[in-house]
Amino acid sequence: MARHATQVTRKTHRDTATRLEHDCIGSLEVPAKAYWGIHTARALENFQVSNIPDSTHPQLIKAYATIKRACATANEELGLIPGVQAGAIRQACMEIEGGRWMDQFPVDVFQGGAGTSTNMNMNEVIANRALELAGHKKGDYEFIHPNDDVNKSQSTNDTYPAACKLALIDALGPLAQSTDRLGRAFHRLADRHANDVTVGRTQLQDAVPMTYGQQFHAFASFLKSDIAAFERLVPRLAVLNLGATAIGTGICANVEFRASVTRHLAKMTGLPITAAPDPVAAVTDMSVYVAVSSAVKNLAIHLKKAADDLRLLNSGPNSGFNDINVPARQAGSSIMPGKVNPVIPECVNQCVFSVFGMDTTVQWAASEGQLQLNAFDPVIIHSLLSGMELITRVMDVFREECVNGITVNVEVGRRYAETTPSIAASLNEAIGYEDAVEIAKEAEASGRTVREVAGEKTNLPAKTLDELLAPITLSRRLGQTCRERVDRSGRERGNTRGDRARR
Condensed to tens digits (0 to 9), the pLDDT of residues 369-398 reads 899 989 999 999 999 999 999 999 999 999
Q: What is the mean pLDDT of residues 209-222?
A: 95
Most confident by average pLDDT, 95-109, 412-426, 471-485: 95-109
For residue range 345-375, what is the model confidence (pLDDT) as tens digits?
Answer: 999 999 999 999 999 999 999 999 899 989 9
Bridge partners, residue 407, by sequence: 325
26 compared with 11, residue with greater pLDDT: 26
Whole-number Å distance between alpha carbons of 312 and 306: 10
50 phi/psi in degrees, rounded to 5: -100, -15
Between strands 10-11 and 17-22, the pairing is antiparallel
For residue range 44-102, what is the model confidence (pLDDT) as tens digits?
Answer: 999 999 999 999 999 999 999 999 999 999 999 999 999 999 999 999 999 999 999 99
Whole-number Å distance between alpha carbons of 220 and 163: 32
pLDDT exceeds 70 at position 484: no
pLDDT at 340: 87
Answer yes or no: are the C-beta atoms of 383 and 110 closer than 8 Å. no
Whole-number Å distance between alpha carbons of 151 and 153: 6
pLDDT exceeds 60 at position 490: no
What is the residue-wise DSSP string for 180-225? HHHHHHHHHHHHHTTT-EEEEEETTEEEEEEEHHHHHHHHHHHHHH
Instruction: Give yes or no: 55 in active site.
Output: no
pLDDT exceeds 80 at position 498: no
pLDDT at 482: 63
Q: What is the mean pLDDT of residues 153-159?
A: 96
Answer yes or no: are the C-beta atoms of 219 and 485 closer than 8 Å. no
**Residue 501, CA atoms < 13 Å, CB-side half-sphere:** 15
pLDDT at 472: 87
Answer yes or no: are the C-beta atoms of 306 and 219 closer than 8 Å. yes
pLDDT band at 7 (very low <50, low <70, confident <90, very high): very low
pLDDT exceeds 50 at position 319: yes
pLDDT at 500: 43
pLDDT at 481: 63
Preceding omega of 161 cis (within 30 degrees of 0): no
pLDDT band at 2 (very low <50, low <70, confident <90, very high): very low
Q: At what angle do helices 58-77 and 377-401 cross, to 10 degrees?
A: 130
Which parts of 316-342 fold into alpha helices (H)?
A: none
**pLDDT averaged over the chain?**
90
pTM: predicted TM-score of the whole model, two decimal places: 0.89
pLDDT at 480: 66
Percent of the chain with pLDDT over 70: 92
Mean pLDDT check: name the lowest of 12-21, 249-258, 278-287: 12-21
Mean pLDDT check: name the lowest of 149-153, 305-309, 414-418: 414-418
Going by the DSSP 8-state scheme, the letter that residue 377 receives in this structure is H
Q: What is the mean pLDDT of residues 143-159?
A: 96
Mean pLDDT check: name the lowest of 135-139, 325-329, 393-397, 417-421: 417-421
pLDDT at 418: 87
pLDDT band at 468 (very low <50, low <70, confident <90, very high): confident
Set 333, 354, 422, 426: catalytic member:
333
What is the residue-wise DSSP string for 121-179? HHHHHHHHHHHHHTT--TT-TTTS-IIIIITTT--HHHHHHHHHHHHHHHHHHHHHHHH
pLDDT exceeds 90 at position 473: no
Q: How many residues does the chain have?
A: 503
Bridge partners, residue 10, by sequence: 18
Neighbours of 358 (CB within 10 A): 24
pLDDT band at 447 (very low <50, low <70, confident <90, very high): confident
Nearest to 477 by CA among 270, 168, 200: 200
pLDDT band at 502 (very low <50, low <70, confident <90, very high): very low
Neighbours of 149 (CB within 10 A): 24
pLDDT at 29: 92
pLDDT at 230: 97
pLDDT at 444: 87
Non-local CB neighbours of 274 within 8 Å, separated by 6+ positions:
238, 239, 240, 262, 266
Nearest to 303 by CA among 348, 359, 343, 344: 348
Domains of the chain: 24-152 (1.10.275.10), 171-242+281-330+340-408 (1.20.200.10), 420-474 (1.10.40.30)
